[in-house]
Structure 1
Amino acid sequence: MDSTIITFMNEFNFLMFLLFAFMYSYQIFYMFVAFKAKQNKYTEMQNIHPHKFAVIIPARNEELVIEQLIKSIKNQNYPENMIDIFVVADNCTDNTAQVAEKAGAIVRERFNKIKIGKGYALDYMLKIIENEYSSSKYDGYFVFDADNLLDENYIAEMNKTFNQGYRVITSYRNSKNYDQNWISAGYALWFLHEAEYLNLPRMVLNSSCAVSGTGFLVHADVFKDNGGWIHHLLTEDIEFSVSQIIKGEKIGYCRNAVFYDEQPVTFTQSWNQRLRWAKGFYQVFSKYGRELISNIFKGKRNSFSCFDMTMMIMPAMLVSSISILVNGLFYLAIFMGIFEGKGMLHGATMGILNSFVWYYGILFVLGVMTTLTEWRKIHCSGWKKIAYTFTFPIFMFTYIPISVVALFKNVEWKPIAHTVVKSLDDVR
């Protein structure tokens, strides 16, 4: 009896692994596409048509870091009269508004304890721009978090992609504090992988990319058609991406537009942030999942993009949650004496360890591959770059309990303090 049960659990865990591998096997093809794209020589495009842009920065108690972001925008290799900077000091209790205004931004303060979050702040500022600065006629809007820093060619490079006809564009997300610890490195390494091994191949294959939190550009007509920023789930960036893709919008990626942001460094901060992300993914799937899946089978131009987004927002967390739930119940049954037999606990543990080794190996390969190809862009000592490839799978494994807790817990948006005060020169 005990060998039969152990065999069943081992087969169950192996089946979960195969299901996971099957669902994401297309991303292996992405990697080959990315490798080939990286080998192609970059052809410089002329910036023949500079557009006028508004930069919107939602900021909540960001007096330490926002000045450096504004300076990096002011130092762009782009016509200064074609960029206006708008800061929403959102429910601030510090000097964010004063610091931003002194640095050269147009600042508006917002106080609302009910409608809390980045989406509401964005919509607030979009309406102010529409009502007070309509004569400026902005062609597009950049969205940044207050802790970001921009490479001096960022806006010029994004403008080139904008001139190709893309109405929503995301960019290359690097980190200000990659070297701080294994948590900040885990975030940063995933964002680098997401940029070059997900968005780059999507761009090459003429599919749609996805906006990830910050560092993106939206055509003015998109906001006009949407009626402002209307996305207020816990992951408003993914909700925006999914809703635009369903409408047939193709989101572009500009790999030569580099920005840096600050990653959490404590596990408590990381847990709270990723718990919100996990809950937000569930919310997005609940709201848009049926339409996404329906579009996969309609044979439209965005069918594959809808499949890609479906894989992005749901299956990994769902499969992980089911797996941990079944294994948890099995262990509970052993400890309660429901399953008895010599070696039952040992056999079950060995089966889980085997699964762990397989998953660790895959994530380790992803981390090593990304680290090697992005080596020069990772601002960190060489030994830390190598060490963090070993901790990267552990960081990713912590999503498993987070995704389970998110299924049952009521999650609210919580601000994360940003304290890494660096200029662009300091980072590089």
Structure 2
Amino acid sequence: MGSTISTLIKDFNFFIFLLFSLMYSYKIVYMFVAFKAKKDNNPGVQNIHPRKFAVIIAARNEELVIGQLIKSIKNQKYPKELIDIFVVADNCTDHTARVAEEAGAIVKERFNRDQVGKGYALDYMIKTIEREYSSRKYEGYFVFDADNLLDENYIAEMNKTFNQGYRVITSYRNSKNYDQNWISAGYALWFLHEAEYINLPRMVLHSSCAISGTGFLVHADVIKENGGWIHHLLTEDIEFSVSQIIKGERIGYCRSAIFYDEQPVTFGQSWHQRLRWAKGFYQVFTNYGRGLIGGIFQGKQNRFSCYDMTMTIMPTMLVSCISSILNGLLYLASFFELFDDKGIINTTTTGVLVSIGWSYGVMFILGFITTVTEWEKIHCSGWKKIAYTITFPLFMFTYLPISVVALFKEIEWKPIAHTVVKSVDDFR
């Protein structure tokens, strides 16, 4: 019996490895496409026909940082009369509203303890704009978090991509606090990788990108077609992306539009935030998985985008964790002599170590390549860049227990305090 179980373990581990390799092999193509695109350094379309935009900032107790964001928006190299800044001070108990108003924003306060979350705040502000400022005829809405900072050319660059016909556009996400510790660096490195090695090749291949929480632009017509901001799952950004892709929308990416945001630095903050993300991905997969999978097989023009997003939201971390747990249980069973064949211990030990080794290696390579190619844009000392490349796989490994806990635990949206007060001048 023991030898049979050893064989089953080997076959199971090989099957999981082969399955994942096949499902995600297209990401290797993405890497080569990104290399070529970065080498070509194509400046793209130079059509700068200026459009009128509303900037929406959903803020909750952000008095420390929101002033710098508004300042960076007002300092844009873009016609000032074509940018209006709106702040929804959502259930604030500090001076966010006053600070934002003094900085030059149009501020609306919202107090609703039942409908809590960024999605509700965005919908409230969009409907307020449509009701009270309809005469201004905004062509698009920018969405930012209060801790963000914009490069001075951000809106001008996004406007160029907007003029190419993209109705939803995401941008290059950099970090305000990459150098704080391995947690903030882990977040930042992933977002850099996501921008240049996932969204850039998607853009080159005329597939659809995806927005990521903040730093994006949505055409006013998209909002009208949807009936406002109707996405209220725990990850409203990926929900919005998936729903638009199912409808056939192609989301664009503007790599020359750079913004900075603040990442969590304590493991407690990080755990809770990523727990919400993991739960939100489960929610999106449950609610939209059928539509995505249907898009793959119904011969739509965006069927590859549907496949790509299916792979993005599919709970692969959970499958990996289940695989590790199964190997671990068999190892313990053999250790306590529940099976006669001690070869099971060697088999499971080898399987676990090989799995960890491969996973670490892949994550390290992704982090290393991203660090090398984005070296000049990472605001951090050289030795820290190298050190955080080494710790990046460890940061990604922590998603394993998070994915399991998120499956069973009820999660509510909670704000994360932002305390890194910097200006755009600090990144020049």
Offset at residue 343 of structure 1 (A): 5.9
Query: Where in structure 2 are the equivalents of 1:21-420 lying within 5 Å?
Result: 21-43=21-43, 45-334=45-334, 337-342=337-342, 344-345=344-345, 347-420=347-420
Are the aligned partners of 2:238 and 2:284 in contact in 1 as well (CA < 8 Å)?
Answer: yes
Counterpart-to-counterpart distance in 2, 1:161 and 1:393: 33
Q: Which amino acid aligns with 2:306?
A: C
Q: Is the 8 A contact 1:223 1:229 kept in 2?
A: yes
CA distance 1:241–1:228, shift in 2 (3 Å):
same
Alpha-carbon distance in structure 1 between the residues aligned to 2:11 and 2:367: 28
Query: Partner amino acid for 1:254?
Result: C
Let me know the Cα RMSD of the aligned residues.
1.5
Are the structure 2 counterparts of residues 44 and 347 from structure 1 closer, same or farther at C-alpha, using a change threshold of 3 Å? closer
User: 1:378-414: CA deviations, max 9, x gaps?
Assistant: 1111111111111111111111111111111111111
Helix, strand or coil: the match of 2:301?
coil
Shift of residue 3 of structure 1? 4.4
The one-letter code of the counterpart of 2:283 is Q
CA distance, structure 2, for counterparts of residue 317 and residue 134 of structure 1:
45
Kept after mapping to 1: 8 A contact 2:334/2:342: no
For 1:17 and 1:265, how far apart are their aligned partners in 2? 33
Contact 2:195–2:255 (Cα < 8 Å) also in 1: yes
Q: What secondary structure, in the 3-state scheme, does the structure 2 residue paired with 1:144 have?
A: strand
Note the residue ranges of structure 2 that are not aligned, 5 or more in a row. Answer: none
SS at match of 1:300: coil
Shift of 1:316: 2.0
CA shift for structure 1 position 315: 4.4
Question: How far did residue 2 of structure 1 move?
Answer: 3.8
AA of the residue aligned to 2:171: S
Matched residues, number: 428
CA contact (8 A) 2:331 2:349 kept: no
Q: Aligned AA for 1:384?
A: K
Write the deviation string for residues 287-343 of structure 1: whole angstroms up to 9, x where unpaired.
010111011011110100000000000142242233134234324534665335546
Query: Does the 8 Å contact 1:47/1:156 carry over to 2?
Result: no
Q: Which amino acid aligns with 1:191?
A: F
Asked if the contact 1:138–1:220 (Cα under 8 Å) also holds between the matched residues in 2, the reply is: yes
Worse-superposed segment, 38-47 or 114-123: 38-47
Q: Secondary structure at the match of 2:147?
A: coil
Judged with a 3 Å threshold, the aligned counterparts in structure 2 of structure 1 residues 336 and 414 are, in CA distance, closer, same or farther, namely: farther
Work out the CA distance in 2 between the residues paired with 1:193 and 1:324. 26
**Which amino acid is 2:14 matched to?**
F
Shift of 1:37: 0.5
Measure the CA separation in 1 of the matches of 2:105 and 2:91: 18
Structure 2 CA distance, aligned partners of 1:171 and 1:427?
17
